[in-house]
């Protein structure tokens, strides 16, 4: 039992659930890793939906390494799965392996994140959030908050996600483009926190030491880093959510609890529940049907502008 559990839980391991294959479709899925509650919720959702749809799933966890994802995709090709899906950790460097999949006639679905490629037609579609819009929504909240508080000068520090990843690039672009029109907004510094709690902690410690009371706002690209950052603000003698405005992205249960405590001001939702769309798209591809090139889930914003006590259980 212990050995079985370890095989299921450890990063980098393979999970095969093909016994449940009632549709005759085998889907190979390369997950990035287990860096956040979001990612763990995303993996769980994909497993549950594969089960619900009767799709055989070969799932591999790449432990945050692109090389592991490329090797997993090559194994899926060798195994001749019907459809390959993956969440690319970064945007660059996929052309060769995707060309191999194309030559093998296996359609590719991008889940959650996008890639940058010069070649047309290597992937069929992208199922994932509109990260640019998330950045816009974070900035729009901040502008409204600054109006309500009557702030004339707003100093912002940013804790970004993994460098060269789609959510990092697009959330930053959406946020910066939106505050660009507001002369009160000033970004003191942006650092890459790799979507990890430990990095959120480190970045915030550095920011508190360097800027201290100059900081008005923390814009953090995910809940994990926000949860890491908050104790560092408290250790420096400031009240998160009051002395410093805290804006996060994801909407996992832990961050929503902290929003309810008043230590986070705004959480822009990024849903990890992409499994249903993934299964339906994979089935369409197996039947040779065309699919929409981009599928964005519907998402919302949770903030101190609403009655936060009414936010229900998040499920991740
Ligand atoms: O790609 C989505 C991002 O990746 C989520 O915001 C983050 O929590 C995850 O690790």
268 lines ligand 1 (CB under 6 A): no
Quick: pLDDT tens for 190-237.
999 999 999 999 999 999 999 999 999 999 999 999 999 999 999 999
Domains contained in the chain, CATH given = 2-128+272-298 (3.40.50.2300), 131-270 (3.40.50.2300)
**pLDDT at 15 (0 to 100):** 58
Q: How many residues does the chain have?
A: 316
270 lines ligand 1 (CB under 6 A): yes
Distance of alpha carbon 259 from the chain centroid: 19
Could you count the other beta carbons within 10 Å of the beta carbon of residue 105?
9
Which residue out of 222, 247, 251 has the highest number of ligand 1 atoms within 8 Å of its CB and is therefore the one to mutate?
Answer: 222
Confidence of residue 8 (pLDDT cuts 50, 70, 90): very low
Q: 261 CB contacts (<8 Å, ≥6 apart)?
A: 241
The residue whose CA has the least distance to atom 6 of ligand 1 is 222
195 lines ligand 1 (CB under 6 A): yes
38 lines ligand 1 (CB under 6 A): yes
269 lines ligand 1 (CB under 6 A): no
35 lines ligand 1 (CB under 6 A): yes
Atom of ligand 1 minimally distant from the CA of 167: 1
Distance, CA of 170 to CA of 150 (rounded, Å):
29
In the structure encoding, which two tokens stand for residue 275, read together? Answer: 């499994």
**pLDDT at 196 (0 to 100):** 97
**Residues paired with residue 60 on neighbouring β-strands, in sequence order:** 14, 30
Atom of ligand 1 minimally distant from the CA of 195: 10
**pLDDT at 21 (0 to 100):** 85
Over pLDDT 90: what percentage of the chain?
Answer: 93
- CA distances to 117, 259, 271 from 158, rounded to whole Å, are 28, 19, 21
CA 1–ligand 1 middle distance (angstroms): 31
**pLDDT at 10 (0 to 100):** 44
Q: What is the mean pLDDT of residues 72-86?
A: 98
Query: What does residue 73 show for φ and ψ, rounded to 5 degrees?
Result: -60, -40
248 lines ligand 1 (CB under 6 A): no
94 lines ligand 1 (CB under 6 A): no
Atom of ligand 1 minimally distant from the CA of 224: 8
CA 38–ligand 1 middle distance (angstroms): 6
Q: What is the SS3 assignment for 145-192?
A: HHHHHCCCCEEEEEEECCCCCHHHHHHHHHHHHHHCCCCCEEEEEEEE
CA 26–ligand 1 middle distance (angstroms): 26
131 lines ligand 1 (CB under 6 A): no
Quick: pLDDT tens for 54-67.
999 999 999 999 99
Q: Is the pLDDT of residue 126 over 50?
A: yes
Mean pLDDT over the full length of the chain: 94
Q: Would the CA dihedral through 204, 205, 210, 215 be positive or negative?
A: positive
Atom of ligand 1 minimally distant from the CA of 165: 1
Q: What is the mean pLDDT of residues 253-274?
A: 98
CA 144–ligand 1 middle distance (angstroms): 25
pTM for this model (two decimals): 0.93
């Amino acid at each position: 039992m212990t050995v079985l559990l370890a095989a299921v839980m450890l990063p980098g391991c393979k999970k095969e659930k093909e016994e449940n294959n009632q549709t005759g479709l085998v889907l190979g899925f390369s997950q990035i890793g287990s860096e956040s509650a979001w990612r763990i919720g995303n993996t769980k959702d994909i497993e549950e939906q594969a089960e619900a749809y009767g799709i055989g799933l070969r799932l591999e966890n790449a432990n945050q390494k692109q090389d592991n994802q490329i090797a997993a995709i090559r194994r899926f090709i060798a195994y001749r799965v019907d459809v390959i899906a993956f969440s690319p950790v970064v945007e660059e460097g996929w052309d060769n392996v995707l060309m191999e999949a194309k030559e093998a006639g296996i359609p590719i679905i991008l889940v959650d994140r996008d890639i940058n490629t010069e070649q047309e037609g290597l992937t069929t579609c992208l199922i994932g959030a509109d990260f640019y819009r998330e950045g816009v929504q974070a900035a729009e909240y901040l502008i409204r908050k600054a109006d309500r508080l009557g702030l004339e000068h707003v100093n912002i520090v940013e804790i970004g996600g993994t460098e060269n990843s789609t959510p990092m690039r697009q959330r930053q672009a959406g946020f910066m483009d939106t505050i660009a029109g507001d002369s009160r907004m000033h970004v003191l510094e942006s650092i890459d926190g790799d979507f990890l709690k430990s990095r959120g902690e480190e970045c915030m410690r550095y920011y508190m030491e360097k800027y201290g009371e100059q900081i008005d706002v923390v814009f953090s690209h995910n809940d994990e880093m926000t949860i890491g950052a908050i104790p560092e603000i408290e250790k420096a003698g400031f009240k998160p959510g009051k002395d410093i405005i805290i804006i996060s992205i994801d909407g996992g249960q832990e961050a929503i609890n902290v929003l309810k405590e008043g230590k986070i001001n705004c959480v822009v939702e990024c849903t990890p529940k992409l499994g249903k769309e993934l299964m339906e798209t994979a089935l369409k591809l197996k039947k040779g049907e065309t699919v929409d090139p981009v599928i964005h889930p519907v998402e919302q914003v949770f903030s101190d502008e609403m009655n936060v006590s009414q936010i229900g259980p998040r499920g991740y």
